[in-house]
Amino acid sequence: MKRRAAFIALAVVALFASRAFADGDLIHRTISALQGNSAEAMPPPAAMELAFSPGGGATDLVIKAIQSAHKTIHVASYSFTSRPIAHALIAAHQAGIDVAIVIDHEEVEQRRHSVAPLLTNAGVPLRVDIVHALLHDKYMIIDGKNVETGSFNYTAGAEEHNAENVLVLWDDPKLASAYEANWQSLWDKAESYGGQ
């Protein structure tokens, strides 16, 4: 039984190792076959996309997720120095999308290259988490149904030097709702930054 479970886990990891997962049905059929279940036994997972850094398109995938937004983008971020990601969020805000960001307190206290001033000067609502020792989250909830997450900090260093990952789970409102509840809790407890 343990050997079979290990095989299933290995097969799932192998599926997650490719760059994009547009075919959620293929993943669902594969997992079902490995478990000996019929396709009706489990609901199919959401479509997924995965990218790595350095050099694997992590920043591009984050920006793709931002550019998919029609209504809302809610961000929880530890370190945030990436100008390309900041500019994508500003563009979304200027297009009328509800963009709001919670960042870690160290981001504004100790980081010289923080994009917090750039974002607030563009009118993007931004709050600072002063409750937790670290706000170590790195995620976005987009339109209440898509989630971008992973280890990837929104920084040039993460893109160019670190071993990081970005995972976007498309069209999963239930998962997005759980992230949104967490984000709202962070937002409600956070302190306004830059007069926002």
Question: CATH number for the domain including 119?
Answer: 3.30.870.10
Specify whether 32 is located in the same domain as 74: no
- Tell me: do 72 and 26 sit in the same domain: no
* Tokens found for residue 169: 């789970």
Q: 128 near 193, Cβ under 8 Å?
A: yes
The predicted-structure confidence for 81-129, as pLDDT tens digits, reads as follows 999 999 999 999 999 999 999 998 887 766 678 899 999 999 999 999 9
Do residues 67 and 90 make contact, with C-beta atoms less than 8 angstroms apart? no
What is the crossing angle of helices 24-35 and 2-16, to 10°? 170
Residue 115 to residue 155: CA distance in whole angstroms: 10
Regarding whether 19 and 36 lie in a shared domain, the answer is yes
pLDDT above 70: percentage of residues in the chain: 73
Number of domains in the chain: 2
Co-location of 125 and 158 in the same domain: yes
Looking at per-residue confidence, does 67 or 37 come out higher? 67
Do 84 and 70 lie in one domain? The reply is yes
Host domain of residue 19: 1-45
Whether 137 and 116 map to the same domain: the answer is yes
User: Is the per-residue pLDDT at 52 higher than 80?
Assistant: yes
Q: Are residues 31 and 92 in the same domain?
A: no
Q: Are residues 2 and 67 in the same domain?
A: no
CA distance 169 to 84: 21
Active-site residue set: 136, 138, 143
> Within its chain, how far is the Cα of 52 from the centroid?
13
Q: Same domain for 104 and 22? A: no
